[in-house]
Structure 1
């Protein structure tokens, strides 16, 4: 049998992950002459990706070729409260009707009657960011994209201003590595070779996390602190740094301001008090502080997990200030990493129509989508792209109820028939990252990526940007930036004049595909200060530990954590049964043996998890990976994969973080009730 012709192309992964991998994708031409993705791995020549892709994205071809992928515009033929019945329509029919209904909403309710809902289903600047320009040109409310990163971003900005990070290739120089609030082996897998190289050179690795996950098992030591007590532990470490003279006085004097405030706050956090709050042994805290205080360089990789609490911004800020006390910012491989995104000095003044946002434009926090969808809020239409809010948004039960309103136009641009798509009036088929051109930054390294459209779009799938421009024409939008091509975008954003972009032109980016920023060989962004108003690292106001308002009590005695699963990336891969099977075929709740005994739960049996917001049913896994008083459900499973058809976010509230208006998914308090049979 003659082998079908195939070719390999290099493309940047579009998904919400710090690695922003450069992928080697095999395209094979079928007997129908249509090329399709048939294999995916990492680009072996890329210094970050280094020839491997993560355990989930290697399966992207199955997602792109899924038999249930929407390939033609679909119109709902029945009520959204019923199982969907779809009719295939032409693009002109769909766009004409959608535009007419949007015009009616704009004329009768004003721009505030229309809301976009989006997040990071693609990180491409064209299909993920610039497509917002239509809604800004129409004067629609601004969606604050807060579900993941804003608590951490604001916390970092308070201390350091611009978000810079230790280059992952410098991590091998560290001699102490602290992985704090991040399951990096699952969510930042291309950091792992650098961790291993550091370990082979003598580094010690400590994981700080409320439960034992893959990264905690990989580490040399695991500090299993109580959820939400990260600031207390950081203050306890600071106490020991000051008490033993383990601070860098020269760095503090030159590069920081507010040291007296931090010293005063840390003075109260003796090892004994820190132990009482965090649940860690006082001697463990002393040893941890000594390791940080006496080991140069120390590298701390923080994750967003510690921000998913009411006081989550402060949690992260407290941890990120530690390298400013020890002077680790002066050393190669030392310091801290949250996001490298600040190094990409693009010209963003008109990206996504940013220049069209007026001072009086109303804002909607995306964590409060359930509230925005309530009839009294006045929405008449919502357009959803790059996101699956029926599964991922807080208070998901009320989100679903809002999307089912008969008087609300719901338009979903999608590559898969998600649970959100199944609640739409129209599903518009979207292209994948191999089927449209786009530009990508990274928040884990310092390479710009460009993708050519290597595949013809299957069926009638179209890029998000095409859909928005077609609607804009029908709505009479004249703002030029709405109609940018990718070439227009490249010319605009690369024209910032910043040294980090020196020598990077659209032509070079298109030719090379992945281009490093023009940074010095030794990039130590905070070695002498920070990009704050003072020019120094802002230590004041000192972070404080605060107990959550949603305190555990007799009615709700257990804290629920919902961290990422190894084989999932948010809800992107929920359509693939092989990845569901790899995670155990259905979502499980990890419960400590003490809690299982206290609440009458059996291993492999079922429990009802009840919060103030809602209830779900999950299979129980009794394990000491959890800790007493804490339950863990890994992964944003589609509700369709759960035994009761519900998303775990049926339990989570619209409560916001102290900084940045972020999500508080780990703040949920529940009770565990055994389910018979």
Structure 2
């Protein structure tokens, strides 16, 4: 018997990007643990990923290529060989390209793998799509509005190192349930707490994190920017703004100050539903506590004014002066701190002419409404859009088109895969080479393949290499090996990579990017046109937005007729047991998650004669889904909450929460999952 350990990293859509170690015995992966040497992972994994090896060995895992034999959506397939599958795909893509042009091909990539070689961070497959002239796929489902908003204020998407929260005295966990979605940050929160820090959770729902915080503030969904402006109103009214910092490091302060003064505590209490006395107390605490850190999550920007929320949150530490202190400022995403050569991976220079951009969140629109050219071929990988994207009913109709050729590359036969013409089996993380960072820390990790893939599973990179060959494409870079791709990514002169080599990374498994352990990100100025924090942004004005940071109400809040018919606001947060739709088909985790539930305030339940545990129908003009009612005061009256991720075919209902979500964008792009009015009624007699 031989046994050894292999270093790797979690590929899933979570800010923690965990480093892990796989124990391999006689060619079989027998144990998985967090890497104890990693300063952020610190030897632990989450409840979901702890069972990753069992998931990789699951009996329902795809192991061979499949061809559809039933109607689209029935999920009936027959096994075929790789050569047959690739031949058919190559012929169909070539035919679409010849008749309709390359833009009739939509490569739909998701967040199921965030790797630089196999996944989203490196836009896996981009070289092939560029050579074919396919439409450009824009991943807008996750954090794009918030990234745009922070960029208008600070000139970048970057903020403070989340580890610096250990140095904070006041921590605002704003729209982030870190104990469910990135629990390693909590250790740094607890370090700060041990030194006297006060922790506040700002969330419409009393989540696991909110229960553990010192204080919970529950605004009406989508009103966070108004709440932030109200807190600043208290700061300014007390005369506690940092005038020295404002004078030397910001642009547009007199105008922004006037806007702040419009958001009095009384007005903000009316907008947000937050008790005025609580708002004033927290504003006083913000005024007198340095350093203050804000850790914002992606859920806070999933409504009509989502980008504006992050823009205002980035301005808060400009008013208080917290951007100048270690442990002060805003943490939203650290993704851009890694300076690997992403362009070398994607090779957009291979495009012969500009192509159109199609938005991940507008799949139904793209499949049903686009022409010139219409979408005739859809290649879906690391994504399950029928479950995870808004406008579910329209997506289903689009996928059912007989004239649409659909290929799905995945690990399991998802709801989306049931509509495919060809399904291809992909490798899992223990079976391929990759490089990862995390969007919630400053480390890069090497993922060495630990075991051979089961059956005929192929990595994403190998699948596209073979498809390129089958199509007779001659561009040499289409055939670069995974090791060559890793070298192209890492052999780059960006300062963050100083001291990091491919060999060294491979040997240790991880490395901290070349940044100090404690640093102030904008101590030498902001990368804005003015070189300062911009309360007023000419770039925003040029882009058709309010040049001054402010509050944009959720679109469905102000419509009185809509509010009369659909008086409840639905918020769909992350499950503690799934990561988006990943793991929803794992029996052990599905049992712990339970069936789909919707949580109602006792007052809302009583007014509808709905009892705890009753089957209810959640609906609006866009669609409906069924769930079990859970009557609990973890939500305020007028707000209901559920969790995302359940596969329709596994819960018996078919439709999911996204059947009710509008297929439209926020102010700065991205889905509006939480800008969603619904009504609830009993679905069975009592």
Structure 2: tracts of 5 or more residues without a match: 537-546
Residue 201 (str. 1) matches residue 195 (str. 2) = yes
Match of 1:123 among 110, 114, 137: 114
Q: Is the 8 A contact 2:223 2:554 kept in 1?
A: no
Q: Is the aligned partner of 1:78 residue 2:78?
A: no
Counterpart residue number, 1:544 = 550
Partner of residue 325, structure 1: 319
Unaligned runs of 5+ in 1: 30-34
**Of 49-58 and 510-519, the range deviating more from structure 2:** 510-519
Q: CA deviation at 1:59?
A: 1.2
2:514 and 2:553 map into 1 onto residues whose CA distance is 44
TM-superposed CA distance for 1:474, in Å, is 2.2
1:668 aligns with 2:652: no
CA distance in 1, matches of 2:186, 2:353: 44
Partners of 1:547 and 1:515 lie apart in 2 by: 42
Q: Which residue of 2 aligns with 1:564?
A: 574
State the TM-score, normalizing by the size of structure 2. 0.95
- Aligned equivalents of 1:97, 1:20: Cα separation in 2: 36
1:505 aligns with 2:511: no
Note the C-alpha offset of 1:6: 4.1
- Is residue 636–residue 648 contact of structure 1 (8 Å, CA) maintained in 2? no
Measured in 1, the distance between the counterparts of 2:353 and 2:195 equals: 53
Aligned partner of residue 125 in structure 1, secondary structure: coil
Q: Hey, what does 2:223 align to over in structure 1?
A: 229
Q: Deviations over 1:418-448 (max 9, x none)?
A: 1111221111010011111111122111111
In structure 1, what is the Cα distance between the partners aligned to 2:525 and 2:234?
A: 24
Distance 1:38 1:637 in 2: 28
Change (3 A) 1:653 1:506: same
**1:418 corresponding residue in structure 2:** 414
Q: How does 1:247-262 map to 2 (within 5 A)?
A: 247-262=241-256
Q: How does 1:19-168 map to 2 (within 5 A)?
A: 19-29=16-26, 35-81=27-73, 83-128=74-119, 129-168=123-162
Deviations 1:310-360 (A, max 9, x none): 111112211221111111122221111001112112222232223335673
State the partner residue of 2:541. none
Write the distance in 2 (CA, Å) between the matches of 1:625 and 1:176: 24
CA distance in 1, matches of 2:571, 2:35: 35
Shift in CA distance, 358/227, structure 1 to aligned 2, threshold 3 Å: farther
Which region of structure 1 is more displaced relative to structure 2, 6-15 or 191-200? 6-15
CA 1:567/1:143 → structure 2, altered by over 3 Å: closer, same or farther? same
Q: What SS does the aligned partner of 2:41 have?
A: coil
Residue aligning to 2:488: 492
- Aligned-residue CA RMSD (Å): 1.6
What does residue 383 of structure 1 align with? 379
> Is the partner of 2:617 in helix, strand or coil?
strand
Answer with 289-298 or 484-493: which moved more.
Answer: 484-493
Distance 2:276 2:84 in 1: 68
Q: Which residue of structure 2 lines up, in the alignment, with residue 618 of structure 1?
A: 627
Equivalent residue runs for 1:177-216 within 5 Å: 177-216=171-210
In 2, Cα distance between equivalents of 1:675 and 1:575: 25
Structure 1 CA distance for aligned equivalents of residues 476 and 147 of structure 2 = 31
Report the 3-state secondary structure (helix = DSSP H, G, I; strand = E; otherwise coil) of the residue aligned with 1:126. Answer: coil
Q: TM-score, normalised by structure 1?
A: 0.96
Is the 8 Å Cα contact of residues 618 and 678 (structure 2) preserved in structure 1?
Answer: yes
Specify the SS of the correspondent of 2:665.
coil
Distance in 2 (alpha carbons) for counterparts of 1:302 and 1:569 = 18
Once superposed, which parts of structure 1, at least 4 consecutive aligned residues long, lie more than 4 Å away?
none
Deviation at 1:123, TM superposition (A): 0.8
Cα separation, 2, equivalents of 1:357 and 1:647: 38
Q: Structure 1 residues 375 and 664 mapped into 2: Cα distance closer, same or farther (>3 Å)? A: closer
Corresponding residue of 2:662 = 653
Distance in 1 between the 2:3 and 2:657 partners?
41
CA contact (8 A) 1:72 1:88 kept: yes
2:313–2:330 CA contact under 8 A, matched in 1: no
Give 2:543's aligned residue. Answer: none
Cα separation, 1, equivalents of 2:16 and 2:158: 15
Where does 1:168-183 land on structure 2 (aligned, <5 Å)?
Answer: 168-183=162-177
Provide, for residues 473-530 of structure 1, a one-character-per-residue CA deviation record: whole Å limited to 9, x for no partner: 2223233332222232233222331222112122222222201111123321123421
Structure 1 Cα separation of the partners of residues 353 and 529 of structure 2: 23
The residue aligned with 1:579 is: 589
Question: Larger deviation: 247-256 or 626-635?
Answer: 247-256
After TM superposition, give the deviation of residue 247 of structure 1 in Å. Answer: 1.6
**What does the per-residue CA deviation read over 1:384-442, in whole Å, with 9 as the maximum and x for residues that have no partner?**
00111110011112212211222111111111121111221111010011111111122
1:566 Cα deviation from its structure 2 partner: 1.0
Cα deviation per residue 1:74-125 (whole Å; 9 max; x = unaligned)?
Answer: 11112214x2322111111110111011111111111121101111111111
Q: Which of 526, 531, 534 is matched with 2:530 structurally?
A: 534
Displacement after TM superposition at 1:210 (Å): 0.5
SS in 1 for 2:124: helix
Q: CA separation in 1, counterparts of 2:236 and 2:221?
A: 25
1:635-674 CA distance string (max 9 Å, x none) = 3211134352322111111110101x10100011111111
Determine helix, strand or coil for the equivalent of 2:553: coil
Partner of residue 400 from structure 1, selected from 396, 401, 404: 396
Q: CA deviation at 1:375?
A: 6.7
CA deviation after TM superposition for structure 1 residue 168, in Å:
3.1
Corresponding position of 2:540: none
Alignment of 1:338 onto 2:332 = yes
Q: Structure 1's 168 and 319: CA in aligned 2 closer, same or farther, altered over 3 A?
A: closer
In 1, Cα distance between the equivalents of 2:352 and 2:175? 37
Moved more, 453-462 or 168-177: 168-177
Aligned to 2:10: 13
Deviates more, 1:470-479 or 1:404-413: 470-479
Distance in 2, Cα, partners of 1:356 & 1:326:
47
Cα pair distance change 1:182/1:358, threshold 3 Å:
farther
